[in-house]
Amino acid sequence: MKKYFVAICIVFVLDSTILFAFDNGFVLGLKANFSGSITDPHISKEDTKTMGADYLKGGVGFIVTGELDLTYIFDAKKYFNRADIKKFGGLGLGFYIGVGQGFSGQESGIPEASVFVNVYFTPVIHFGTSLKTYLASNRFILGCSLGGRLIADPTPTYDMYNSNPDLLKDIDGTGTMIVTKDMMKKMNPLGFTFKGFMEYVQPVMSTTELVLGAYTSYCVYKPGYVSMPEALAKTAKESVGFDANNTKLKSFFLNSFDFGLTLGINFKVNP
């Protein structure tokens, strides 16, 4: 009982700081993003036929990323001449960098058989800038960001299987794809990301607050070439003459739509 009493007393002592979120200055955030990722490929019929397939579809995966965010809050009182910040508290300009996983799921094939390939990249580097609107005494944040996504993994892992093992032999299993130095020079590793998010912050100390958020993002990525597991690349070359390492697909986009939750903690840099 004494422990509970002491904890309650501490809460009442800190009550004046707990009521208010950060209102101005620099804020450093550490966040973990838990995402569902939907691959959204786009390719012309001519390039699809070049690959030896009748169609190309995307898949669904799960990824986790960590993020470091530095934001400066331009408070509504000082910069917007507002005495009451219960509705609008100000604007924040932020810069972020993150490291985590990447996912690409693809389904392709002909009427007789389909091939499913899921590729997992680690690490993938995210970076960019964000604009945030602070609402409800800075407890709620609505924001958007524009940034880049850089694939920095020369040995991504994959799992692959097909719907007709009798027709497509050896097209299954898991393994590692080796992206050669030549392919790394030819392929484009950079995508562009557009993101929208909302966050709720709960102050716990005068310099610390917890963050719970949700977000959606869309990444536009044009690799130029298709990376395939060795067994699939060999089959494509033998059956239709498609050389994945030396055939550039100008119409090929391997975009992705991500959505998920954010858990994090913010620190006030200049309390």
Number of independent structural domains in the chain: 1
Q: What's the pLDDT at 110? A: 85
Angle at Cα 198 formed by Cα 195 and Cα 200, nearest 5°? 150
Which residue segment(s) compose the domain that 124 sits in? 2-268
pTM value?
0.87
Helix spans in the chain (H): 2-13, 15-18, 45-50, 76-80, 181-186, 230-240
Is 173 within 8 Å of 159 (Cβ atoms)? yes
Average confidence (pLDDT) per 10 residues, the chain, 271 residues:
50 49 91 97 94 93 96 91 85 97 93 92 97 94 97 93 85 87 90 98 93 98 91 86 91 97 94 62
